[in-house]
Amino acid sequence: MWRLLRHTLRALPGLRGRKQRLGCRGPAGSALPAMERAVVRCVPAEPKLSVSLVLGDGSARHMQRDQAEPLGRALARIANNAGKGHTKAAKKSKKARAEAEAGALPLQPPTVCLFSQDGEAVAEDVPNAEAWQDGAVLQIGEARYRVERNPPTLTELQLPRSLLAGFPVCPKLRTEFGSASDCLFRWYQEQRVEPAAAATAGGERSGWVEAPGGTERVFTPSNAHIGLRLKLLCTPGDSQRRYGVPREVESSGPVEAGPGACTFDARHLYTKKVTGPGLIRTVTYNILADIYAQTELSRTVLYPYSAPYSLELDYRQNLLKKELAGYSADIICLQEVDKVVFTDSLGPALDAFGLEGLFKLKEKQREGLATFYRRDKFSLLSQHDIALNQALLEDPLNKELRDKLAPYPQVQEKVHQRSSVLQVSVLHSTSDPSRKICIANTHLYWHPKGGNIRLIQAAVALSHIRHVTHDMYPAIPVIFCGDFNSTPSAGMYSFVNSGSIAEDHEDWGSNGEEQWCSMSLTHPFKLKSACGEPAYTNYVGGFHGCLDYIFIDANALEVEQVIPLPSHEEVTTHQALPSVSHPSDHIALICDLKWK
C-alpha cells in the first residue's frame, strides 16, 4: 500500500522539514514546535483518504486507505511498512538493507499510534475519515508527525518555457484547499559563475541566490538576469494564512534578451493605472491563434516578412502577457485564443493581474473566444454563449430570419458550415450591484467575399443579445466587441451602426450570383463604434483595414478616452504584423467607457 516516491522528494522540500520556516507559521506568525508533517487528504467525494509523510531515512511514503476502514488497520499497515525504512540501520547501506529484508537482521516493526489534539490515543475502531483530524499527532517509533488534514496544496506549478528580460514571468499554478492569491513566493536566480571558476568547477551546476524583489507571484527579470535560469519556491496558502507543503520549479532555460521597444510601450503610458469606479476600460483584440501563426501558409504566404522566432508561441505569449497586463483593463475580449493558451498561459497570467477569464471554444476547432473581467470591479451573473450556426437553425428567436433565408439554400448551407460563436457574459458592478452590463464577444467569418454571411451572423448575434439585454435583464447596456472581419464600408458595419440594412445593399451579392441572397434586417439597439473607424486594426503584407470594433450602447455609455493606436511608423518598422515587437496581425482597441 505504501508507495516510495523518491523522485518527488526534490519537489517536496517542505515535507522533509528542512524549509519549514514558511510552512510552520501559525495564524499570528508564531513558530510551532518543530515536527515532521503527515499530510492527510480526505474529501467526501472520494472513497479513500491519503496519508503522506517522510520517514527518518528521507524516503517519502504515500498511503491510500478506505475512509470507512478502522484506524487500527491503517496503523498496522504503517507499522509494517515503516519497519522497512524508519531505522538508521536500514539506511546504512544497500547491503545492510538487503540483509535486513532477507531476515538476516530482523527489524521490529515500530510502535505506531495516533493521538488526538488533546493528547488521547485515538481508538483503533474509529474510522479513518474521523480519526485523522487536523492537529492530531502520529507517532512511529520515536518519530512524531503532526497531522495536517486538507492543508493548502499545490496541484500544479509550472514556469513558461521562454523567459525574456523586461517581460513578466507568471507561473501556472493550481491549488487545492487554497488559492493562488494566498500563496507565498520566493524567486531565485542562478548564481553567475566567473568564467575561470566555471572552468575549475568542471561544468558543475551553480547555486541559487534570492532574486532581488522576488517575493511576488509575478517576477519580471531584468537585463541583469540574461543568461541565468530562474527558480520559484511556492508555498501554498489559504485566506486563513494556513500554509502547506512548499514546492519549487526551475526554468528549463535561461532568461534571454528582450526585443527592445514594442508597439504597446507608448500605449502603456496612457494605461498605467486601473480606472476609477465609474469607468470601464475595455479592450478587444484578435491575438492570432498559434494554430494559424505557424502553418506553412502563414510562414510563406501570409507573414513571410515575420522573423520565424517571432511567430513562435512562447515568444508571442511573452509579448502578449506584457501587453495585456500593461493596459490595466477591466474588460478584455479576445479572439483566436487557442484552448491551451487560455488554460496554460493567458488564463494563469491574467489571473495574476486580477482578471477572471471565461472561454468559449468554437465547435470542432482548437481556438475560440475569451472574455476577461476585473474581479474587484465586476462579478459574473450569468453566461449565454451560443454557436451562431446552431442558433440560426434552432432558436425560436430566429424564426423570421430562417424564413427570409429559406429561398437561398446555398447561403443557408454556407452559414451552417461556419463555426463562429458568440460569447455573452452578464456582469454586475461590485461597488453598485444594480449596475449590470452585458459583454458580448464574437469573431465573424473571415473571407473577403463573405459580406452576406457576416450580415446574417451579425443578425443572429444581435437577436440573441437583444434577448439577453431586453427579455432576461430588462434594459441593461451592452458592449459588443469582436473581430467582425468587416471594414467600415461593409454592409455589416452599416447594419450594426445604423440599426438596419436594405435588401438592395451590395453586400448581399458579395460572393457572386451563386451565393447571392437579399433581405432587409433591423435591430433595436443604438450601437456606436467606441474607437471610431481607425485606418486599420489588421495590418498584414497583403491587406490592411479596420475589421475590429468595440460597439457600445450609446443610450447608456459614453466614451471617456480612446487609447491611441500605435503610429504607422511603429506598425511598419518590420514591414507588417506580426513582428518581433508586436505579437499579432491585429492591433488591440482600447477605450475607457463611462456609465451615462
Among the listed residues 295, 382, 417, 555, the single contact to ligand 4LC using CB under 6 A: 295
Size of the site for ligand 4LC (CB under 6 A): 15
Between 93 and 295, name the residue whose CB sits nearer to ligand 4LC.
295
Counting contacts by CB under 6 A, is residue 511 touching ligand 4LC?
no
Instruction: Give the whole-angstrom CA distance, residue 66 versus residue 44.
Output: 12
Residue number with CB closer to ligand 4LC (229 or 443):
443
Measured between alpha carbons, how far is residue 419 from residues 303, 410, 442, 516 in Å? Answer: 24, 17, 11, 21
Q: Are 158 and 173 within 8 A, CB to CB?
A: yes
Alpha helical stretches, state H, 93-227? 94-102, 128-131, 195-200
**Residues 298-357 close enough to bind ligand 4LC by CB under 6 A:** 298, 302
Omega before 578 within 30 of 0, i.e. cis: yes
Assigned C-alpha cell, 378: 465586476
Looking at residues 520 to 559 of the shown chain, list those that interact with ligand 4LC (rule: CB under 6 A): 538, 543, 545, 547
Distance CA 541, CA 553 (A): 34
Binding-site member from 88, 297, 512, 513 for ligand 4LC (CB under 6 A): 297
**Could you say which of 351, 385, 483, 585 is catalytic?**
483
Site string for ligand 4LC, 466-505 (x = CB under 6 A): -------------------xxx--x---------------
Shortest CB 312 distance to ligand 4LC, Å: 15
Comparing CB distances to ligand 4LC, the nearer of 97 and 443 is 443
Q: Which is nearer to ligand 4LC, 187 or 549 (CB)?
A: 549
Q: Which long-range contacts (CB under 8 A, 24 or more apart) does 44-51 make?
A: 49/128, 49/129, 49/132, 51/78, 51/132
Query: Closer to ligand 4LC at the Cβ: 519 or 547?
Result: 547
Q: Closest Cα to residue 529, out of 482, 577, 475?
A: 482
Distance of closest approach, residue 441 Cβ to ligand 4LC, in angstroms: 15
* 344 belongs to the catalytic site: no
Query: Which one of residues 115, 185, 270, 292 is an interface residue with ligand 4LC (CB under 6 A)?
Result: 292
Q: Which of residues 445-464 bind ligand 4LC (CB under 6 A)?
A: 446, 448
CB atoms under 10 Å from CB of 218, counted, come to 15
Could you give the 3-state DSSP secondary structure of residue 250? Answer: strand
**Residue 459 DSSP SS3:** helix
Query: Among residues 492, 538, 533, 567, which one has the least CA distance to residue 288?
Result: 538
Closest residue by Cα to residue 285 from 99, 441, 66: 441
Query: Is the Cβ of residue 135 or residue 532 nearer to ligand 4LC in the bound state?
Result: 532
CB of 130 to ligand 4LC, least distance (A): 57
Residues with catalytic annotation? Answer: 483
Residues contributing to the site for ligand 4LC (CB under 6 A):
292, 295, 297-298, 302, 446, 448, 485-487, 490, 538, 543, 545, 547
